Each structure stands twice: as structure tokens, then as C-alpha cells.
Amino acid sequence: MARINDNYLKLKAGYLFPEIGRRVTAFSNANPDAKIIRMGIGDVTEPLPPAIIEAMHKAVDEMAKRETFRGYGPEQGYAFLRDAIAKNEYAARNCEVHADEIFVSDGSKCDTGNILDILAPGKENVIAVGDPVYPVYVDTNVMAGHTGQSNAKGEYEGIVYLPMTAENGFKASLPTRKVDVIYLCFPNNPTGAVIDRGALTEWVLYAKENDAIILYDAAYEAYISVDDIPHSIYEIPGAREVAIEFRSCSKNAGFTGTRCAWTVVPKALMGTNEKGEKVELHKLWMRRHTTKFNGVPYIIQRGAEAIYSDQGKQQVADLIAFYMQNAAIIRSTFTSLGMEVYGGIHAPYVWVKTPSAPGSSNRIDSWGMFDKMLRECHVVITPGSGFGASGEGYFRVSAFNSRANVEEAMQRIRTKFQ
């Protein structure tokens, strides 16, 4: 009988968001009149900007006429989009990233998983992730056979976890053992923390000294609100030789259901083969991308291009400002209740330390806080422990919502937690 990939059986069943869904459904069934406000999953709520809508209508019309119809496009993405990205996202920030180093794709979630295809199978590379962490980084490494089994804390053997807590300012500290592949996500999901130039430079130097690769997920860079925080790792000298960057249109232009992203694999980035020879990762990813992917829909690429029109830029900026006003309301609510509040300044996520249980000096744990918020406020948050052991004692509140929902949720929370 055909043999399956046994690594899948190492995956823990209770993926965070399905478990949240299960508890919310159970509560909702038991309390059908409760008006539940969801501030858990990081999904945008506001419509696509008009410039993008207009561009997509135009592209749909092009598909209706023989003269302008488009069949297979280049798997890496159309030049019109890659050029717009190279110019607006990289040249504008003095980053050396060429259009042919940009691979347009249908999502950063997909790419952060798929990138493992071009790295050695098995346990030859030591993988480091932040803790708490976006679960996909870990799960895809488990699937690829890069780990052993998980322990009672949910940590997988072989993965190096880099704690990010209030105690270290939510900086992922440099690993104490040599690692080969490092996932960094800034602005961070889930903590909302950012990394400054100095700290990111340390990571680039670490990677150079240790011949490691940084997988840099900057899906939330549009939320950075001051000048001295890097939007791209390629703002750091030398990063072209050590880093792959993942970027997305999901959280800036609202493409979570529209699907467009890109990955940068610089030509200067090398790995080694079994003989110890250097191999360009760009060539391997090009082969992977052209063999196992067929490009993003033409209509969607035209929508993504419109992000970079003058109108598109202004409309996307307005969207981000709207969500960041939500974040400010959330921050001030929890701050006013005396809780310790992080994130939410350069990121659409607010990361809050759980309060003490009533009449106790012990903090409520993450799932306890989740249940309490659901039961007492009918508000869904995300328990920090779902992102990793170091997330225990925290919870994440998403700023992606309508203003009315945010205000009502905060009002309920103020009433119950005062």
C-alpha cells in the first residue's frame, strides 16, 4: 500500500484557530442571543479600495475580448506588477531588489511553507523560530520532516525556540547554539512588536557569521508609523546575502480573500549542496515556482498593481489609518483597566498580559482569559499560549474590525473588568 508522509502524524491535532472556532460555536449554540464580536483571527473587514476595484473591473473586461484576453502568464508574475513592487517597495527605500528577484504568489502563508521545498529534507538544517510564533512556520517544518516529536508544552524536538516576552522587550534574542534557518516576523504576529535597525543588523551579522538564512516575514510592514524602523530587511546592509523576504497584500490593501503576495529571493543568496558547494537559492526557487505554481490570476495582479497608483496609495494609507485608530482605542481601553499592553502602535495586533484572577495574586492563564472574555463580554480574543509556550499569560486582540464593533467590545470589556 502506498506509504504516507509519517511526519504529518507528529502534528498536534488542536490547531489554534479550529479550537477557537469550536469553543465559539459551543458558546453560541448555548447562548443563541449573544451578539459575539470576533477580535480573534487577523482578518480584515473593510472593503477593497476603489482604485483596486476599478482596476479589477477593467481586467475582467479585458478577459472578455479576444484581443485583450490573457491565458497563462509568467509564473513569477507579470512584469507590470513586479516592476511596480521593485520601484515602490524597494527602490523607494534604497533597497537593492530587482524585479527578477520578486516572485508574485497567492500568499505569504503558502510561500513560507513552500520555501522549505528547496531546503534539505530531514534534519540537516537547524531551524529557529520566535516564541510565540505564527503556527504555520512550525507546522510546515514538522510536515517537511525537519523536527522530531512534540513534548507536553507543544514544542517540537529539533526546533530552536527564541522566547519573545516582556522581559526581553519582545526581541528574539540571538540563539546560543548555531542555527541554519531563522524565521523572523516584524512587525510581529502575534505580539505587535517591531525591530529597530540595530537589532535587525545584529541578525544579519549573525546570519553572515553562521552561514544561516533568515526567512523574514514582513506582512505587516505597512503599519510601521515612524521612520527609523525598517520596512524591509533589505534596508540592512548585507541582507541580500542572507535573507528571503515574504510580503503580502493581505493586511495593507485588504487582500485576505483576494490573494496576492510576493517573495524576494536575492541572487546573492547561497546555500550549500551535499558536496559543500555554493548554490544560488534564486535558481532553485525559480525552478520550484515555475514547476509547481502557475501564477496569480491576471485580474488579481491588476488589482495589486493599483495599490501603487496615486489614488491606490492614498486609499491604502487611509485603510491602515482606520485600523490603527481601532488599535489605539483597544490599547487605551486595556491600559485604562490597569493591564500591561504591548503592540498596537506599529502593528494591527494588541498583545496584553492577562490580569490577576479576582481575589487572587495569580494571573489568569491564556485560555482562561479567552473563556472569560467569551462568556462575560461575548468577545473573541486569541489566547497567547496558542502561539507557543512563551505566549502563556498573554492574549492577542486584533484591530481588524468595524469601528462600531471595536467600540462596543471595548465598552463591554470596560464594564466587566473595571
Distance CA 357, CA 363 (A): 6
* Least spacing, CB of residue 244 vs a second copy, in Å: 10
* Least spacing, CB of residue 287 vs a second copy, in Å: 6
User: Which is nearest to 53 in space by CA: 219, 247, 252, 299?
Assistant: 299
For residue 312, give the H/E element and its range.
helix 310-336
- Residues 295, 74: contact at Cβ < 8 Å? yes
* Least spacing, CB of residue 78 vs a second copy, in Å: 10
Residue 167: phi and psi, rounded to 5, are -60, -35
* Least spacing, CB of residue 72 vs a second copy, in Å: 5
* Least spacing, CB of residue 122 vs a second copy, in Å: 8
* Least spacing, CB of residue 306 vs a second copy, in Å: 12
* Residue 113 or 154 with smaller CB distance to a second copy: 113
Strand 278-280 with 379-380, pairing:
unpaired
DSSP letter string over 209-274? HHT-EEEEE-TTGGG--STTS-SSGGGSTTGGGTEEEEEESTTTS--TTT--EEEE--TT-EEE-T
* Least spacing, CB of residue 35 vs a second copy, in Å: 17
* Residue 41 or 99 with smaller CB distance to a second copy: 41
* Residue 46 or 235 with smaller CB distance to a second copy: 46
User: Which is nearest to 387 in space by CA: 18, 192, 130?
Assistant: 130
* Least spacing, CB of residue 110 vs a second copy, in Å: 6
DSSP code at position 356: B
* Residue 50 or 169 with smaller CB distance to a second copy: 50
Q: How many residues does the chain have?
A: 418
Distance CA 352, CA 372 (A): 15
Distance CA 11, CA 171 (A): 27
> CB neighbours (10 Å) of residue 155?
16
Distance CA 34, CA 28 (A): 7
Q: Which residues of 93-113 are buried (b: 16+ CB within 10 A; e: fewer)?
A: eebebebebbbbbbbbbbbbb
* Residue 40 or 187 with smaller CB distance to a second copy: 40
* Residue 136 or 166 with smaller CB distance to a second copy: 136
248 alpha-carbon distance from chain centroid? 9
* Residue 16 or 95 with smaller CB distance to a second copy: 16
Sign, Cα dihedral of 388, 394, 395, 400:
negative
* Least spacing, CB of residue 202 vs a second copy, in Å: 19
* Residue 92 or 321 with smaller CB distance to a second copy: 321
For residue 185, give the H/E element and its range.
strand 181-185
* Least spacing, CB of residue 307 vs a second copy, in Å: 14
- Residues 129, 137: contact at Cβ < 8 Å? yes
Max CA distance (Å), the chain:
73
* Residue 280 or 371 with smaller CB distance to a second copy: 280
Crossing angle (nearest 10°) for helices 298-305 and 50-62 = 150
* Residue 11 or 339 with smaller CB distance to a second copy: 11
DSSP code at position 363: B
* Least spacing, CB of residue 400 vs a second copy, in Å: 8
Cα pseudo-dihedral 51, 54, 55, 57, rounded to 10 = 160
* Residue 106 or 392 with smaller CB distance to a second copy: 106
In angstroms and rounded to an integer, the radius of gyration of the C-alpha atoms of the chain is 22
